[in-house]
Copies of this chain bind each other. A is one copy, B any other.
Amino acid sequence: MSLVSQLMDALQIMPGVGPKSAQRLAFFLLQKDRSGARHLASILNQALDQVKECQQCRTLTEHNVCALCSNDQRSWRQLCVVESPADIIQIEQATDYKGRYFVLHGKLSPLDGMGPSELKLNQLIDILAKPECQELIVATGSTVEGETTAQYLAGLAEKGGIKASRLAHGVPLGGDLEYIDNNTLAHAFAGRTHY
């Protein structure tokens, strides 16, 4: 197989890249932006060599302890638990949260063989045992597994005598009621807030 075809195949491991876009990407990389492509290959290799999980929060970083965890300004009073490193970026961009994070790298899903031990929650339990820790903010997704995980983590927090909270569910900002699914709407209706 020619190198160009091999490159097209290799590009198709990426989510959302089918044969047609792989072909487009391959020719783009080889024809239009060779220096960008060279840079991409080298950064990808470097990242694969060096990026690992932060020893504290388990997000992805090339350091032993990530930038967020090494920031002394951030408080240990609040700990926000997320499913993936991408969620941290989202929360950092959207909010002014100044507490700590913990990445689950998954969610409880007994059918897929993901139990509390697969999620290696011992590290989380250790953090919750810190005397400074006062609130566990559970920011898992609103799927069945996300909710199950949230329930379980809330239970853990309670055992440790720590307040647990969950992201609010409801109508997204800028969302027309017409286009919102019934479950969300029922939830938003039942959980209406008073002026």
Interface residues of A (CB under 8 A from B): 2-4, 6-7, 10-11, 13-16, 21, 23-31, 33-34, 36-48, 50-51, 60-62, 67, 84-86, 89, 105
Extra A-B contacts (14), CB below 8 Å, given A7-B47, A30-B47, A30-B48: A2-B62, A3-B46, A3-B47, A3-B62, A4-B47, A4-B61, A4-B62, A10-B39, A10-B43, A13-B33, A27-B85, A31-B60, A41-B42, A41-B45
Cα(A3)–Cα(B36), bound, Å: 16
B48 touches A34 (CB 8 A): yes
Residues of B within 8 A of A105 (CB): 31
Task: Given A6-B47, A23-B89, A47-B7, check contact A15 B41 (CB 8 Å).
Answer: no
**A43–B13 CB distance below 8 A:** no
**Main SS of chain A's interface residues?**
helix
Chain B residues whose C-beta falls within 8 Å of the C-beta of A27 in the assembled complex: 60, 84-86
Using A15-B25, A28-B15, A30-B51 as known contacts, say yes or no to A7 and B43 having CB atoms under 8 A apart: yes
Specify which of B3, B4, B13 is in contact with A40 (CB 8 Å cutoff): B13
| Given contact pairs A41-B48, A51-B30, A14 touches B4 in the complex (Cβ within 8 A) | no
Q: Are B60 and A4 in contact (CB under 8 A)?
A: yes
Provide the residues of chain B in CB contact with A26, threshold 8 Å. Answer: 47
Q: How far is the CB of A119 from chain B (nearest CB, A)?
A: 15
Which residues of chain B come closer than 8 Å to A48, judged between CB atoms? 29-30, 34, 37-38, 41
A37-B48, A48-B34, A51-B3 known; A14-B29 Cβ under 8 A: yes
